[in-house]
Structure 1
Amino acid sequence: MTKAARPAKKPAPATQAPKQASRPRVAAATKSSGPVLLTPETLPAPVMAGRDFLSNLDMSAQELRAVLDTAHSMRRGEWRGVRPLSGLSLALVFEKASLRTRTTFDVGMYQLGGHAITLSNQEIGLGTRERVSDVARNLERWVDGVMGRVYLQQTLVELAEHASVPVVNGLSDMLHPAQLLADYQTIEQEYGQDLAGRRVVYIGDGNNLANSHIHMGILTGTDVTVVTPVGYEPNAGVLMDAVKAGVNVTLTNDLAAVEGADVLYTDVWISMGQEAEADIRRRAFRGYQVTPGMLDTIAPGGIFLHCLPAHYGEETVPEATEHPKSRVFDQAENRLHAQKALLYHLMGAMKPRW
């Protein structure tokens, strides 16, 4: 098959609303009747067909709504039995180890009728054994999409520049957008779709999770506060994204900002690749640990989220992830539903190569 036969990758629209589904939407089922199962004829139209997903800002607010609606529908079991990605394949490229990312993308492709192949960095050697651009040009001729869990955002940018198939950010040093889809699905399960003005307080390192929370605040209107020690603030370019969008983000090192939060979120203090800074970071973040006592200070109906893995004794304790306000394991489950929804909206319009 020549490359000309593949659908061209579409640029992300700046303000253009996504195409409306031409097929009827199926109403949510009642508890007594069980889920109303979709059929190939009643699936929603993919809204991001052929595009890359390197950042949450690669989608519009309307496209985010479509993806989350699909994720909720998948969690309700309404997609059981349909295989919209039948005959399609996804390469899973890992520079960093993974439990949730590998399992959920692999299982997600299987449940949608497709196939996933896992490639470790020992097998590929991104940028060492082979140029990133050469890896991209090879993969695009075999697979229909690429998910990368990598050290550098620039690696994903290069993959996307040179591959004609969708490239998905499964994690980088800068952003973790797929995780935030699952996070906001979890938040919507608690509060509904209208999240404007809800207080999302992120406590800890101003890392890829903090950066992606800021991007989601831009898309959803949530009031994002980042509580972090001096010197560990989110990326300046991401903060500028918020300024350009006219969205206020509160930065503070005052732990009192946690009080009254609708959502309290934390992540590890020491990410993969930062082991040499472990002692310095533990001293800097002392006091920023989420405990049951801290959870008592958030809103009465507030929830606690952590993307996992948890380094118990550092950013949190087992009593917090097992607390009645914790939704940590619902959040982990939603990685499967949210990423399946994303893959459908990126790849659902593709035809098998064979």
Structure 2
Amino acid sequence: MVKRNIISVLDMKDDMPQLVELAEKLKKERGNHGEPLRGKTLAMIFEKPSTRTKISFDVAMSELGGHPLYLSARDMQLDHGETVEDTARVMSRFVHGIMYRAFDYKMMDRLGDSATVPVISGLDNLEHPCQALADMLTIKEHLGSFKGKKLVYLGDGNNVCNSLLYACAIMGVDMIACCPAVRMPNAEIMLGAARIADQNGSKILASHEPLEACVDADILYTDTWVSMGDSTSEEVAVKIFKKYQINQELLDIAKPDCIVMHCLPCHRGQEITDDVIEGPHSVVFDEAENRLHAQKAILLTLLK
């Protein structure tokens, strides 16, 4: 079998609908998977700490019968005494797959290019593909379909936003990246996503005005204003992003059955108000759970 990485959402471009369907099936059949990954080991390298990524991959491998191996970057010689390329080659002799949560997408690409086993991105500073797949599963669960749906992303045009642009374009969801001019998503990704969306009958747009962008939205989505590793101070972030907060005012101009999403962790009272995240439109904790099921679908597809 040809080795396959999932480092970008584009690596799922040809089979994202099938991965969503598989994740749905695995969610319904939780506890009855058998052991399809028995004898398989997934090395999990963490440069950045995590709650959801660590737990969900650990549980996913365990429930599929495989073995998760946690590795802190501090305990390795990753690019410090040994090249990333040599580390990747050596690890490939020991394990069946590598999940890497990295600060720098360039390191992710180097590891992916050199490993002879599949490499899965658990996040880097450019993309978060596993989150995007979980998000598509969540939209399917709560809205039933993708075509004709409108997602408005509000706040920092970060890695989560970048991956959402690709995922929405692939699945036929209209997306507006509503961000301050100084914190728009990656321009190359926006252009690439717009091209894919055009082929699938949807639109990728940009906006700086939440009160215009959120009209008749099916999905309102946000993320923390200051990502891990970001040097922006909280005080500066509040000034930049204040009007992009998801609150009742924005929810009132969206569709009546609009769902609210956040990849977590959140800062209540900043990017989202407490009453909204705890309210009836919030699917935030379903979304968090769906990381487990989406990643099971990825693991089975790459490692079985």
Normalising by the smaller structure, the TM-score range is over 0.9
Match of 1:303 in 2: 259
Give, as a single letter, the amino acid of the residue that structure 2 aligns with 1:235: N
Aligned with 1:92: secondary structure? strand
Identity %: 38
With 310-319 and 339-348 compared, the bigger mean Cα shift is at 310-319
Summarize the Cα distance change of 1:121–1:220 in structure 2 as closer, same or farther, 3 Å threshold: same
Rounded to whole Å, the distance in 1 between the matches of 2:149 and 2:187 is: 24
Q: For 2:137, what is the secondary structure of its paired residue?
A: helix
Question: How many aligned residue pairs are there?
Answer: 299
1:64 aligns with 2:12: no
Q: CA deviation at 1:276?
A: 4.4
Partner of 1:38: none
Letter in 2 for 1:140: S
Is residue 189 of structure 1 aligned with residue 132 of structure 2? no
Counterpart AA for 1:249: I
| 1:205, distance to aligned residue in structure 2 (A) | 0.3
- TM-fit CA distance, 1:137: 1.0
List per-residue Cα deviations over 1:239-283 (Å, max 9, x = no partner): 121244363321111112112110100000000111444332221
SS, match of residue 118 in structure 1 = strand
Structure 1 residue 292 displacement after superposition: 3.0
Match of 1:118 in 2: 70
Alignment partner of 1:97 out of 46, 49, 59: 49
Aligned residue type for 2:7: L
Pair 1:241-2:196 in alignment: no
What corresponds to 2:166 in structure 1?
215
Q: Which of 70, 85, 96 in structure 2 is aligned with 1:144?
A: 96
C-alpha distance in 2, partners of 1:260/1:319?
20
Distance 1:60 1:242, change over 3 A: closer
Partner of 1:41: none
What residue in structure 1 maps to residue 295 of structure 2? 339
Distance 1:238 1:74 in 2: 30
> How far does the alpha carbon of each residue in 1:310-336 deviate from its partner, in whole angstroms, 9 at most, with x for none?
012211122221110000000001010
- CA displacement, residues 66-100 of structure 1 (integer Å, 9 cap, x when unaligned): 21111111111266141110000001010101000
Match for 1:203 among 148, 154, 179? 154
Matched letter for residue 198 of structure 1: K
Alignment of 1:261 onto 2:212: no
Unaligned runs of 5+ in 2: none
Q: Can you list the C-alpha shifts for 1:137-163, whole angstroms capped at 9, x where unaligned?
A: 111010000001111111111111110
Which one of 78, 82, 88 corresponds to residue 34 of structure 2? 82
From 271, 284, 306, the equivalent of 2:227 is 271
Q: How does 1:120-135 map to 2 (within 5 A)?
A: 120-135=72-87
Deviation readout 1:78-130 (Å, 9 max, x if unpaired):
66141110000001010101000000000000000000111111112432242
Is the Cα–Cα contact under 8 Å of residues 84 and 107 in structure 2 kept in the other structure?
yes
Verify the 8 A CA contact 1:199 1:222 in the aligned structure 2.
yes
The answer for the alignment partner of 1:228 in structure 2 is 179
Could you report, residue by residue, the CA deviation over 1:35-57 in whole angstroms, capped at 9, with x for unpaired residues?
A: xxxxxxxxxxxxxxx31001111
The reply on whether 1:161 has 2:161 as its aligned counterpart is no
Distance in structure 2 (CA, Å) of the matches to 1:185 and 1:142: 32
Tell me the secondary structure at the aligned position of residue 42 of structure 2: strand
Match of 2:205 in 1: 250
Task: Indicate if the aligned counterparts of 2:169 and 2:204 stay in contact, CA closer than 8 A.
Answer: no
Task: Give 1:180's aligned amino acid.
Answer: A
Call closer, same or farther: CA 1:228–1:71 in 2, change over 3 Å: same
AA of the residue aligned to 1:202: Y
Runs of 4+ in 1 over 4 A off after TM superposition: none
CA RMSD of aligned residues (A): 1.5
Whichever structure has more helix as a proportion of its residues is 2
Q: Distance in 2 between matches of 1:141 and 1:189?
A: 39
The AA in structure 2 aligned to 1:299 is K
Contact 1:292 1:323 (8 Å CA) reproduced: no
Aligned-partner SS, 2:110: helix
List gaps (5 residues or longer) in structure 1: 1-6, 11-49, 349-354
**1:125, 1:151 → 2: CA distance?**
16
Rg larger in structure: 1
Tell me which amino acid in the other structure corresponds to 2:207.
T
TM-score of the superposed pair, with normalisation by structure 2: 0.94
Query: Are 1:174 and 2:126 counterparts?
Result: yes
Distance in 2 between residues matched to 1:332 and 1:273, nearest whole Å: 22
